[in-house]
Structure 1
Amino acid sequence: MTNPTPSPETQNEAMQIAKATQKSNQTKEQTKRVAQGIEKGIALYKKQQKVKARERDKDRKKQLRHKEHHTSQGDLDVTESSTPESTSGRNSLPWVLLVLSWVGFAAYLLMVQ
C-alpha cells in the first residue's frame, strides 16, 4: 500500500509543531525529520478516525434497520390485534365494571338500611 503525500496544510502544521518543539542545537535536517514523523502521525490519526467513522456509520445504519424492523413488526402486531372481536371485548370491559360497581353500591345501601 503506497503512502499518499500529505496535504500542504498537514505539512505546514507538522512543520509548525516541529519548530515549536525544536531544541536550540537542533539542525534544520533534524527538524525536517521531526516534521516528517509528525506528518506520518497525523496521517495515521486521520486514517484511524476514518475507520472509526465508518464503523460508527455502520453501527448507526444497523441500529436504524433494526429499529425499522421492530417498528414494522409492531405495526403488524397492532393491526392483527385490532380485529373486531378483540376491540369489542376491550370496549365492553368498562361497561361491565360500571354495572358491577353500581350493583355493589346498591347492595351496600340496602345492607346499611
Structure 2
Amino acid sequence: MAAAKNVSDETKNEAMKVAKATQKPGQAKEQTKLIAAGIEKGIAEYKKQHKNKARDRDKARKQDIKAKARTNKTVENDTSEVTAKSTNAHLLPWGLLVISWIGFIGFSLIK
C-alpha cells in the first residue's frame, strides 16, 4: 500500500489506459483494475530503476570530472616545477658568464 501512495495520478491514468486498451471482451471491471494496478507497479518500478541508473551515471560523471581535475592539477604542478627548474637552469650559465666577465675586468684593472 505504501507504494500505491507514491504513484502519481498521471501514472495511474496511464496504467488504466493501457489496461483498458488490452481489455478482453467479457472481462470484469475488477480484473481490469487489477491489471491496471499491476501496470502501475511496473511503471513505478521502471521509473525507480531509471532514476537509480540516472543517479549512478551522474555519480560516475562527477567522479570523472574530479579525476580529470586532479590530473590537470597534477600536470600543471609538474609543468610549473619543470618551468621553475628550467628557469633556474637557464639563469645559471648567464650568471656564471657575468661573474667571469666581472672577474676578468677586475683582474685586468688590477694589473
The residue that corresponds to 2:40 in the other structure is 39
The residue that corresponds to 2:15 in the other structure is 14
The residue that corresponds to 1:95 in the other structure is none
TM-score for both structures, normalised by structure 2: 0.73
The one-letter code matched in structure 2 to 1:63 is D
Q: Tell me how many residue pairs correspond in the alignment.
A: 87
Q: What SS class does the counterpart of residue 23 from structure 1 fall into? A: coil
CA distance in 2, matches of 1:8, 1:68: 43
How far residue 4 of structure 1 moved from its aligned partner, in angstroms, is 4.6
The one-letter code matched in structure 1 to 2:74 is Q
The one-letter code matched in structure 1 to 2:70 is H
The residue that corresponds to 1:99 in the other structure is none
- 1:75-90 aligned at under 5 Å gives the runs 75-83=76-84, 84-85=87-88, 88=90
Distance 1:3 1:24, change over 3 A: same
Distance 1:72 1:4, change over 3 A: farther
CA distance in 2, matches of 1:7, 1:15: 13
The one-letter code matched in structure 2 to 1:57 is D
Q: Among all aligned residue pairs of Structure 1 and Structure 2, give the percentage whose two residues are the same amino acid.
A: 50
How far residue 50 of structure 1 moved from its aligned partner, in angstroms, is 1.0
CA distance in 2, matches of 1:70, 1:4: 47
- 1:11-52 residue CA offsets vs partner (Å, 9 max, x unmatched): 100000000011112111110100000000000001111111
The one-letter code matched in structure 1 to 2:22 is T
The residue that corresponds to 1:50 in the other structure is 51
- 1:62-101 aligned at under 5 Å gives the runs 62-83=63-84, 84-85=87-88, 88=90
Q: What SS class does the counterpart of residue 82 from structure 1 fall into? A: helix
